[in-house]
Amino acid sequence: MAKTKSFTCSACGASFSKWSGRCEACGDWNTIAEEKPLSAGPASKSLGAKRGTAITLTDLSTEETPPPRTLSGVAELDRVLGGGLVPASAILVGGDPGIGKSTLLLQAAARFARNGLKTIYVSGEEASAQVRMRAQRLGLADAPVKLAAETNLRDILTTLETERPQLAIIDSIQTMWADSVDSAPGSVSQVRAAAHELTTFAKRRGLSVVLVGHVTKEGQIAGPRVVEHMVDTVLYFEGERGHQFRILRAVKNRFGPADEIGVFEMTGRGLAEVTNPSALFLSERGKPTPGSAVFAGIEGTRPVLVELQALVAPSPHSQPRRTVVGWDGGRLAMILAVLEARCGIPFAGLDVYLNVAGGMKISEPAADLAVAAALLSAREDAALPADTVVFGEISLSGALRPAPQTENRLKEAQKLGFTAAIAPAGGKSGTVAGLAVTRATDLTGFVGEVFGAG
């Protein structure tokens, strides 16, 4: 009987029975490759008659003390982890190559080791000498971190078993090679097998493992998205190569809030934590210019002010351009449609560009009103009043919905020297001394308030 072939997308892990150029599940191109089976596979379809052992069941009410956590002392990192490192947990740190994952984790390893955790750093990408050189440059050479340059998973697990560390960092999961799997390192089956072995080992032995995963657009290396389901915590390290800001974002966390961010700055001596990100994101803002609006946002548990920049220009194309950096393109299309349908302000025949300053990515719906403000300001070529922050969600009817944590947003704005805010009416309306809050009920009212009759 001919064996049926199986094809897997290296980005999202979806399987198909035949090859195609584009993954139907995630839409990425050139990510589908033939998958070698993990093992010989089950001989028969059912489990058969052989009995297993009965599992001991417990009640939900059984007393469980919260896991003891270890703090690194880097507040930005500890907060993203949900209040420190949890023992017997698996953490995935994903990010583009060269963004600073190895730097971050070497610094974190040194901090945890100095705080008393037995820490091992396994590099599958760099030689030990390279890692040592980086440690010297970062001033961490004296930290009690044990180092290895190795890719053989069996040897690594054996070492972890004898050394019994409390924290192991595997940089990166794509370079790990399990001899039980018959395919090249970096393939989906290797990455999946290595991640599975390491996470189950962590649970069994009570150590924390941190897996580093590269994400590439081309999907040549298996994306760590297949690993996301196996681990407890998924952190993404984001930023733009040209900018010095780096954002560590929790997208999944079984031990704390998701959506929490930590902000860092890449310096000549490694990553420095940024305790006041609003000041940093607004530091490059000059005089008020048309197309610029300051959004008072909330990231996780913390208010963050960011500048939104819009440019609107007559389009030479029959299909005008809509380009967005740091925000959702679909959401932009929606706001343009609402502006046209509810306020009679058309953007047809105009190219629209929207950028979130500082390499920040925003996903909050409360940014809607700030986006609309930036777009209108660019279109009318009129600067918004200086020292004003904007926030609020826009519904398809053109009504404005109050945003959560209004008071925190206003407080942050006031702290950074803003004197006015435009926010939706209704909801819990906080007041902050020294800040004049204009409340609008719908988009038309907002346009009238800010830009006169239009």
Say whether residue 103 binds ligand TYD (CB under 6 A). Answer: yes
- Determine the residue with CB nearest Mg ion: 102
102 or 166: whose CB is closer to Mg ion? 102
**Which residues sit at the interface with Mg ion, rule CB under 5 A?**
102
Among candidates 360, 397, 382, which has minimal Cα distance to 282?
360
Say whether residue 130 binds ligand TYD (CB under 6 A). Answer: no
Long-range contacts of 242-245 (CB under 8 A, 24+ apart): 243/358, 243/359, 245/274, 245/280, 245/281, 245/358, 245/359, 245/360
Stretch that binds ligand TYD, among 12-20, 130-138, 250-258, 325-333 (CB under 6 A): 130-138
Residue 121, Cα to own-chain centre: how many angstroms? 23
42 to 45, 50, 194, 400, 417: CA distances (angstroms) = 7, 14, 21, 57, 66
Least distance CB 237 / ligand TYD (angstroms) = 7
102 or 208: whose CB is closer to ligand TYD? 102
Q: How many helices (H) and strands (E) does the chain have?
A: 11, 21
Burial class (CB in 10 A: 0-12, 13-18, 19+), 445: middle
DSSP state, 249? E
Residue 66 structure tokens: 């919260």
User: Using the rule CB under 6 A, which residue among 266, 293, 324, 372 binds ligand TYD?
Assistant: 266
Least distance CB 103 / ligand TYD (angstroms) = 3
User: Using the rule CB under 6 A, which residue among 154, 204, 229, 269 binds ligand TYD?
Assistant: 269
102 or 292: whose CB is closer to Mg ion? 102
Stretch that binds ligand TYD, among 49-57, 140-148, 261-269, 415-423 (CB under 6 A): 261-269
Residue 372 · residue 336 · CB < 8 Å: no
In the list Mg ion, ligand TYD, none, the entry touching 266 (Cβ below 5 to 8 angstroms by class) is: ligand TYD
**H helices within 71-140, ranges in order?**
75-80, 101-114, 128-137
Least distance CB 120 / Mg ion (angstroms) = 16
Least distance CB 446 / ligand TYD (angstroms) = 42
Reduced 3-state DSSP string for 394-414: ECCCCEEECCCCHHHHHHHHH
**H helices within 360-432, ranges in order?**
368-380, 406-415
Residue 298 · residue 404 · CB < 8 Å: yes
98 or 316: whose CB is closer to Mg ion? 98
User: Using the rule CB under 6 A, which residue among 270, 326, 359, 424 binds ligand TYD?
Assistant: 270
Stretch that binds ligand TYD, among 267-275, 309-317, 385-393, 407-415 (CB under 6 A): 267-275
Residue 176 structure tokens: 């790990």
Stretch that binds ligand TYD, among 251-259, 265-273, 300-308, 330-338 (CB under 6 A): 265-273
User: Using the rule CB under 6 A, which residue among 79, 111, 134, 246 binds ligand TYD?
Assistant: 134
- CA-CA distance, 250 to 373, in Å (whole number)? 29
In the list Mg ion, ligand TYD, none, the entry touching 246 (Cβ below 5 to 8 angstroms by class) is: none
Q: Which of residues 278-317 bind ligand TYD (CB under 6 A)?
A: none
Residue 413, Cα to own-chain centre: how many angstroms? 24
In the list Mg ion, ligand TYD, none, the entry touching 134 (Cβ below 5 to 8 angstroms by class) is: ligand TYD
219 or 270: whose CB is closer to ligand TYD? 270
Among candidates 45, 48, 37, which has minimal Cα distance to 7?
37
12 or 104: whose CB is closer to Mg ion? 104
> Given its phi and psi angles, is residue 65 left (phi above 0), alpha (psi -120 to 50 degrees) or beta?
beta
Task: Compose the 73-102 pattern: x for residues touching ligand TYD by CB under 6 A, - for all others.
Answer: ----------------------x-xxxxxx
150 or 387: whose CB is closer to ligand TYD? 150
In the list ligand TYD, Mg ion, none, the entry touching 268 (Cβ below 5 to 8 angstroms by class) is: ligand TYD
Residue 162 structure tokens: 């004898």
214 or 249: whose CB is closer to Mg ion? 214
Q: Which of residues 388-417 bind ligand TYD (CB under 6 A)?
A: none
In the list ligand TYD, Mg ion, none, the entry touching 100 (Cβ below 5 to 8 angstroms by class) is: ligand TYD
The two most distant CA atoms of the chain are separated, in Å, by 79
My answer on whether omega of the bond before 283 falls inside 30° of 0, hence cis, is: no
244 or 414: whose CB is closer to ligand TYD? 244
294 to 13, 41, 367, 369: CA distances (angstroms) = 39, 57, 10, 10
Least distance CB 125 / Mg ion (angstroms) = 6
Number of residues that bind ligand TYD (CB under 6 A): 15
Q: What are the phi and psi torsion angles at 8 (to 5°)?
A: -130, 145
Least distance CB 97 / Mg ion (angstroms) = 7
The residues that touch ligand TYD, with contacts defined as CB under 6 A, are 95, 97-103, 134, 137-138, 266, 268-270
